[in-house]
Structure 1
Amino acid sequence: MLLAALALALALPVGLTAQNRAQAAPAPRTAQLATSAAELTLTVPPDRTAPGYSLHVARDQLALTTRRSGTTVLATAPGDTGALRFRTAGTWQHATRVTDWSWKNGVLTLTAATTVPGATVQARVTPSADRYQLDWQVSGTTPERLGLAYDLKSAGHWYGHGEAQTPNGGPGTDQPWPLDSGQVVHPAFGPASYYMIDPFWYTSAATGLRVDTGHVMDVAINQNTDGLGRFDIESAEPYRATVFVERTPLDVYRDYVGIVGKPTKSDAGYRQYAEPVWNSWAQFYTHVDQAKLLDYAQDLHDNGITGHALQLDDKWESNYGNMTFDPKAYPDPKAMSQKIHDLGFDFGLWVTLWINLDSDQYQYAADHGYLLKDAADTTKPCTVTWWNGTAGIVDLGNPEAKAWYEGRLKGLMKTYGIDGLKFDTRFFDERCAPHEGYKPTDYQRLGAQLADEYDLQGVGIRVHWDTAAHQAGFVTRQVDKGTGWNSLRASVTQNLAISTIGYPFVTTDMIGGSSAQPAPTKQVLVRWAQSAALMPLMYASTSPVDTIDPRTGQKVVYDEETIALYRQAIARHARLAPYIWDQVQQTLRTGDPIMRPLFFDFPEDKPAYTITDEWMLGPAVLAAPQLTDAPTRSVHLPPGTWYDVAHRKVVHGGRTLTSYATPLGTTPVFVKLGAKGSDKALRALR
């Protein structure tokens, strides 16, 4: 038995983690390799759980074409781009002719020449029933980067990635869905990024790509409309990727979650799903004080605008990192906390591990070795510039530093009756060196473990790229959005992107946006609230009573209709809470996202793959809110029998409803009759 187990372990492909080994099916004994003068063809037959596929390796210039049932479902880039590519001496090169190969113990090993004389590529393909592992590296030269390039159209449409940088303002105002419908240009795609991202992409052809790396990547999807997907790693280490081949995109997602792990719990409790959290940021930005915060809370209370918590965001400290209230702005923070509690809210506070150089705690932390060290000179603390100055970062890899930080944090919470926290900024920066024994990627796990000890009050935290982040069950809040219609639309497609890379408990950015743009119009604010009411959680800031325009400092007063419609959106979300809570429990069992694209539930419905303004909330609720300043919209209904909530009638799907009237008080939403949970959804929405 021991010898057999050892032999199996030695046969596993390089780059498979322990979790990969637990989830990936063994190489099929019936996998076969056929050869011809033009190509090598690896065939994996279908079985009860997998559709089967064939991988065709061109011999004249190493290229990979994946086919399912005879149809191409993924192909690497043709021509001079090169499929397996690398950069050396500042110039991109690539693999060319296959010069040698072997098929042994379920592994196809390839050697190829390259466009660099004397340099070769060695690649290994290890097939499983529903995926194959691709590991490769370069010999004969020292590359600066390794990359894979794909022909986008070979796989249909592309999804995944998370929050995408784009030439059109992404992720704040632009999040293409599908990704190939726009351009993604993300040169610093890495584990320390502030963006919510994972190196996982999937396609409408039910294929997927996971890149197993802890290094920064340069990701470009349809850059300059070139039709290519380029996934480059800033490292000479072997490139390790998993290519999934499944029947549906949902199956690909489930395969991926089988590797990174599903949530083991929900960080948010029932009330946090049922009621919004109110945060001061978009209402005041840094121009906040005790009197303003209490007036804000009183207005919400007096107008029947409910919520489970009220959070004081940036800026409350005397200096960033002091962890003491500014006495000029907050003369009596204990009384402020008590008043907020008296109004029915829990009290929350914004915090960060970044300590500014002018903080009275900076030198103490530096002297005691509590700060991350500079990557270029580890004898001194690392300093980073952020939106509030220049700072050092508490080193969570140092147990003494973590204990010091948490001791101060817990003392603050106890003194002022603070119920929960909003952790902001990052836990690591590429300009810093990790603590001895740690890698940069470990700081996502360390940050997740720290945050998991506190009530995050439904605003969650932004950690990613690590199994701890997936399994912790945090609510994921988006990056700051603008206050216009484009940001509202981006908030929807971004939630679809985040929730389908394994972070199912999603919320948009603060309702109405929060990027210091002019205050949202009545229409944007109301439509954003109506949209968020049909998502797992509501994250609010801009008051529907009145707000401050950050550009002018002038008060913006909304009318009574704004208050009433916002209140209605909150009430609808509260009525849906029992249904949403059921979906939370289902996600804990399966890992499936709560908010998801229509094609996850209806994979045969071709129009569903390009719809940007509808989603499924669990299996029974289809949300189609108005996301533009228009009197009507089209609503696509997948096949099935649906209940039109606004018109109180049954309609048949498999068609598009045109010119669906959407006055400001109407939000199109439909219940799929007979779906699991439909009875509960109907009771909530009628």
Structure 2
Amino acid sequence: MRRPSRSPRVLLAALALALALPVGLTAQDQAQAAAQATPAAPAPRLTSSPAELTLTVPRGRTAPGYRLTVTTAQLALTTSRSGATVLATAPAGTGALRFRTGGTWQHATRVTDWTWRHGTLTLTVATTAPGTSVQARITPAADRYQLDWQVTGQAVPDRLGLAYALSSAGHWYGHGEAQTPAGGPGTDQPWPLDSGQVAHTNFGPASYYMVDPFWYTSRSTGLRVDTGHVMDVALNQGGDGLGRFDIESAEPYKATVFVESTPLDVYRDYIGIVGKPAKSDATYRQYAEPVWNSWAQFYTHVDQAKLLDYAQDLHDNGIGGHTLQLDDKWESNYGNMTFDPKAYPDPAAMSKKIHDLGFDFGLWVTLWINLDSDQYGYAADHGYLLKSAADTTKPCTVTWWNGTAGIVDLANPDAKAWYEGRLKSLMSAYGVDGLKFDTRFIDEKCAPHEGYKPTDYQRLGAQLADEYDLQGVGIRVHWDTTAHRAGFVTRQEDKGTGWDSLRASVSQNLAISTIGYPFVTTDMIGGSLGQPAPTKQVLVRWAQSASLMPLMYASTSPVETNDPTTGQKVVYDRETTDLYRAALARHARLAPYIWDQVQATLRTGDPIMRPLFFDFPKDEAAYTVTDEWMLGPAVLAAPQLTDAPTRSVHLPPGTWYDVAHHRTVPGNRTLTSYSTPLGTAPVFVNLHAKGAQQALQALR
């Protein structure tokens, strides 16, 4: 057979590559050097026709390649990969690029001019508003494209927005804690997001909710909106099938659209922008043992005697933990930072007793100072409080669940020093080991310090909190890259005490951990939203579920608690205590495996608790599983989250060890009617995954 000849150009290239490789390298080194010397993928190219413009981005060594089609008669953007649509903008009636002016929504229509220069496609687009056009710039890269646009002409907009047809991208995820008509985030968190409805106004950097402007889809596309302004986000609102991402600003709209091979690749692209944790704020012990917090056990009806009885009761029943935190209410007035002497006659002795029982001692704190606090006047007179956005000559006052307050301005060095000095004095005087920071660091009603933006307060808050032991409870900061890199534990928004909230706690952790906050915990086990005390079944099932997550955050005692709706004591039976203790023991045995996942996350940024499809992207059924998750690569958690004797368990492809039944089970199947008596929380180990032996040893 005749050997094919090579062209002179190919021979010269091969010779040049050979000459470029240094001698003395191993075959592996030479292969690596050759790969690094491989020419870059061909540049994106533009083709045009009377009806459309098409940007084609070729497949690269690590990128799948894609095509972006711009329809010109009525502006529409359609992204496709391997010939299939993976993301498309909303239909003409809504419009792809929209803006509000004079209280009415308008949108871009016909492309009137375009240029393709230096790798950027620039569009001029007419709009439904007279004398007004949109200028848009699309800059493609190997696995994403940048979409920047603004409104020019007669209209003066106050909002700009992008709109997509949700079904074009399959299912949607991300967002973080979602406001929904069905009660989210307290009792509802749709997963995927399009399976319910999201109507989230005031979605922004000052929000108390853990949110980031990042969404990703089952068809491996993603959207990141680069803004520091408040957004109005709606997904399938009213069942309209649309995703609308509106910014309350007329500044240029900046978005990144990711196009990848898997959802995990999209997530990694996003983490490449916002950053991965540089460390874990929680210690090994804080991963291994729960933190106990007084809130759901007592709410504000707490005092020194009750807290010590609570700690003693946990201790005597063999229910351990690394910390006992005194939550709201301990101050004489909010912002005073002094113990109420009537309720806490000897806080130093209280702290000592808690330490003697084996717990660290923690306190709930806030930067919000109520108007009736004896510190408010001093802080206001010295300019230590944020100013009102409406009148910057006056302090900003905000209403919260405990009254009306001002907020310490962390951008003012003197204010920060004053606040921190008071914190340190308090901790030193009473042997306080760490703090639970609560409330936000800025409010939309407040004006940032001169030279600062609202997003800066997430950074300032993160930097402040990072100087204190947060005791495995963390702090609710988000949006800014500092929050991503700080490595805080993230606790959820308060949950109810019913089954709906237990289910929401699972899907919400999946949402939070896949927007870049991997060290997640549910709200307090059993809920904390002021509803009737959790039933035995909810409390046990919640503890079992939390035991298969990175950290455990506890409050309601499985021995006895208080019903906030009746004021009556609720006493649980011995089985409740035993099963709760068993869940804590399982989590403690898993701690070495979990700690290894923490270290892996610090290297890669990948979440510890994650949806099945992150590990099994070709498993179509995994994209709608709402009540299972992977804990690292080896452990599949499928605890019972309903009041039922059985459940279905979906197993992705692979070979799995069924811990409850001590058997090996082939994957790529659904186990129906899997028995779940109250003592059983189904969990499976992927026998061929990294860490499988360590997980087996812990779970057996």
The TM-score with structure 1 as length reference comes to 0.96
Question: Which position in structure 2 is the counterpart of 1:261?
Answer: 275
Match of 1:30 among 35, 38, 43: 43
- Mapping of 1:645-684 within 5 angstroms? 645-684=659-698
Question: Is the aligned partner of 1:56 residue 2:64?
Answer: no
Question: Is the aligned partner of 1:447 residue 2:461?
Answer: yes
Task: Report how far residue 30 of structure 1 moved.
Answer: 2.0
Tell me how many residue pairs correspond in the alignment: 661
Task: Report how far residue 28 of structure 1 moved.
Answer: 6.3
Q: Secondary structure at the match of 1:445?
A: helix
Match of 1:641 among 650, 655, 674: 655
Q: Secondary structure at the match of 2:105?
A: strand
- Per-residue CA deviation, residues 190-225 of structure 1 (Å, 9 max, x unaligned), is 100000000000000000000000000000000000
Question: Is the aligned partner of 1:218 residue 2:239?
Answer: no
Amino acid aligned to 1:293: L
Question: Which position in structure 2 is the counterpart of 1:40?
Answer: 53
Larger Rg: 2
Q: Distance in 1 between matches of 2:256 and 2:43?
A: 20
Q: Secondary structure at the match of 2:614?
A: helix
Amino acid aligned to 1:588: L
Amino acid aligned to 1:107: T
Question: Does the CA-based 8 Å contact 1:27-1:126 persist in structure 2?
Answer: no
- Mapping of 1:444-483 within 5 angstroms? 444-483=458-497
Question: Which position in structure 1 is the counterpart of 2:27?
Answer: none
Q: Distance in 1 between matches of 2:42 and 2:375?
A: 62
- Mapping of 1:285-296 within 5 angstroms? 285-296=299-310
Q: Secondary structure at the match of 2:415?
A: helix
Question: Does the CA-based 8 Å contact 1:28-1:128 persist in structure 2?
Answer: no
Question: Which position in structure 1 is the counterpart of 2:159?
Answer: 145
- Per-residue CA deviation, residues 562-613 of structure 1 (Å, 9 max, x unaligned), is 0000000000000000000000000000000000000000000000000000
- Mapping of 1:48-127 within 5 angstroms? 48-127=61-140
Greater alpha carbon shift after TM alignment, 430-439 vs 128-137: 430-439
**How large is the RMSD of aligned CA atoms in angstroms?**
0.8
Task: Report how far residue 29 of structure 1 moved.
Answer: 5.0
Match of 1:186 among 200, 210, 218: 200
Question: Does the CA-based 8 Å contact 2:41-2:59 persist in structure 1?
Answer: no
- Per-residue CA deviation, residues 376-413 of structure 1 (Å, 9 max, x unaligned), is 11111100000000000000000000000000000000
- Mapping of 1:261-340 within 5 angstroms? 261-340=275-354
Task: Report how far residue 79 of structure 1 moved.
Answer: 1.8
Match of 1:156 among 150, 156, 170: 170
Amino acid aligned to 2:551: L
Amino acid aligned to 2:574: E
Question: Which position in structure 1 is the counterpart of 2:17?
Answer: none
Q: Distance in 2 between matches of 1:42 and 1:390?
A: 54
Structure 2 regions of 5+ residues with no counterpart?
Answer: 1-38
Question: Does the CA-based 8 Å contact 2:41-2:60 persist in structure 1?
Answer: no
Q: Distance in 1 between matches of 2:626 and 2:264?
A: 18
Match of 2:361 among 323, 344, 347: 347
- Mapping of 1:204-215 within 5 angstroms? 204-215=218-229
Q: Distance in 2 between matches of 1:432 and 1:56?
A: 43
Match of 1:599 among 613, 629, 650: 613
Inter-CA distance 31–676: structure 2 relative to 1 (3 Å threshold): same
Question: Which position in structure 1 is the counterpart of 2:22?
Answer: none
Task: Report how far residue 126 of structure 1 moved.
Answer: 0.3
Q: Distance in 1 between matches of 2:638 and 2:113?
A: 55
Q: Distance in 1 between matches of 2:641 and 2:140?
A: 44
- Per-residue CA deviation, residues 413-440 of structure 1 (Å, 9 max, x unaligned), is 0000000000000000010111111111
Question: Which position in structure 2 is the counterpart of 1:12?
Answer: none
Q: Distance in 2 between matches of 1:417 and 1:646?
A: 43
Q: Distance in 2 between matches of 1:105 and 1:625?
A: 54
Task: Report how far residue 674 of structure 1 moved.
Answer: 1.6
Question: Does the CA-based 8 Å contact 1:27-1:128 persist in structure 2?
Answer: no
Question: Which position in structure 2 is the counterpart of 1:510?
Answer: 524
Amino acid aligned to 1:50: A
Structure 1 regions of 5+ residues with no counterpart?
Answer: 1-25
Question: Which position in structure 2 is the counterpart of 1:430?
Answer: 444
Task: Report how far residue 295 of structure 1 moved.
Answer: 0.1
Amino acid aligned to 1:91: T
Question: Does the CA-based 8 Å contact 2:541-2:640 persist in structure 1?
Answer: yes
The TM-score with structure 2 as length reference comes to 0.94
- Per-residue CA deviation, residues 493-524 of structure 1 (Å, 9 max, x unaligned), is 00000000000000000000000000000000
Q: Secondary structure at the match of 2:164?
A: strand
Question: Which position in structure 1 is the counterpart of 2:590?
Answer: 576
- Per-residue CA deviation, residues 226-255 of structure 1 (Å, 9 max, x unaligned), is 000000000000000000000000000000
Amino acid aligned to 2:461: G
Q: Which runs of 4+ in 1 moved over 6 A?
A: none
Q: Secondary structure at the match of 1:80?
A: coil
Match of 2:256 among 218, 242, 247: 242
Amino acid aligned to 2:134: V
Amino acid aligned to 1:70: G
Q: Secondary structure at the match of 1:79?
A: coil
Question: Is the aligned partner of 1:132 residue 2:145?
Answer: yes
Q: Secondary structure at the match of 1:111?
A: strand
Question: Does the CA-based 8 Å contact 1:86-1:94 persist in structure 2?
Answer: yes
Q: Secondary structure at the match of 2:93?
A: helix
Amino acid aligned to 1:476: T
Question: Which position in structure 1 is the counterpart of 2:21?
Answer: none
Task: Report how far residue 449 of structure 1 moved.
Answer: 0.2
Q: Distance in 1 between matches of 2:228 and 2:383?
A: 25
Task: Report how far residue 144 of structure 1 moved.
Answer: 1.1
Question: Which position in structure 2 is the counterpart of 1:417?
Answer: 431
